[in-house]
Structure 1
Amino acid sequence: MIKNLFIALAFALMLINPSISIAAESPVDVQEIFTSSENIDGDNFKYPKGKAEMRLIRVEVKNGATIPMHSHPVPLLGHIESGELTLAEKTGISKTFKEGDSFVLSANTPAHTMANSGNSSAVMWVAVASAEGIPTLNPEE
């Protein structure tokens, strides 16, 4: 009875403040890695209309390679698993993302390239909030 009361109290405290944990080890470790309501330029983003579709994409950029100039019509969250990638906007602004960095791009983000600026292959995971029939990437000419 006392044990159940303790567990209920601990659970209630965790609901109030999720950073409180029980001393016992849990077989599940949940860590929030990144949260943002703005893209890399500080602009808000909007979700596309239509039948919602989520995508998870793994992108490997070989050493010295560059993803050509493009834009994204939908919001996406990128996370660099390994390596280093530099985003260069058509405006001339560039931002470098290294292992462990996360970022948000959206339709407001100017057209850009994404180049491997490190010394080895780079791996980026991309989660896309889209709608059926809308591409993830629009190549620029």
Structure 2
Amino acid sequence: MKTLLLRVVPAALVSLFLFGCNSKSPSTDITREILLRTSQSWDGTRYISYPDAAPELTVLKLVIPANTQLPWHSHPIPNVGYILSGELLVEDQNSGQTRRIKQGEAVAEMVNITHRGVTGDKPVELVVFYAGSKGIPLTE
């Protein structure tokens, strides 16, 4: 009986959370938009594989001041940035290739490729989602 309660109570709580406590039809007000689905970074480089370890997700909110050049850096793991406000120019150090990302757009970051972001006359606010493993740095 105790085992049954341990299964039923959490399921009931999740249902109440997801669907609310009223009789209103669930999900009628939910909209869904895929912002990005890709297996390659913004420059076309394909992602190869994940580390052989348990996943660890990290989400950062960053605010980059206007007229700022971030230092050249790379990421050892896949990540995606979503621009909340402003515009960010991303540059590949080796090829010189660039791409401008604007408010409401998502960008698949480069993995193991040196790059940087540059802001214009307005600050940039973005959220970055990293898919890595414990002990692996987000940026190098």
- TM-score of the aligned structures, taking structure 2 as reference length: 0.73
Matches within 5 A, 1:47-86: 47-86=50-89
CA positional deviation for 1:49: 2.2
Task: State the Cα deviation string for residues 1-51 of structure 1 (Å, max 9, x = none).
Answer: xxxxxxxxxxxxxxxxxxxxxxxx823223222211111121221222212
* Structure 1: gaps of 5 or more residues: 1-24
Pairs within 5 Å for 1:91-130: 91=94, 92-108=96-112, 110-117=113-120, 119-130=121-132
1:42 aligns with 2:49: no
Paired residues of 2:88 and 2:101 also in contact (CA < 8 A): yes
**RMSD over aligned Cα, in angstroms?**
1.8
- 1:87 and 2:86 matched: no
AA in 2 matched with 1:107: V
User: Between Structure 1 and Structure 2, which shows a larger proportion of strand residues?
Assistant: 1
Shift of 1:115: 1.0
Q: Which runs of no fewer than 5 residues in structure 2 stay unpaired?
A: 1-26
For 1:126 and 1:113, locate their aligned partners in 2 and report how far apart those are by CA, in whole Å. Answer: 14
How far the C-alpha of 1:122 sits from its partner, in A, is: 0.6
Residues of 2 paired with 1:26 and 1:74: CA distance?
A: 36
CA deviation after TM superposition for structure 1 residue 128, in Å: 0.7
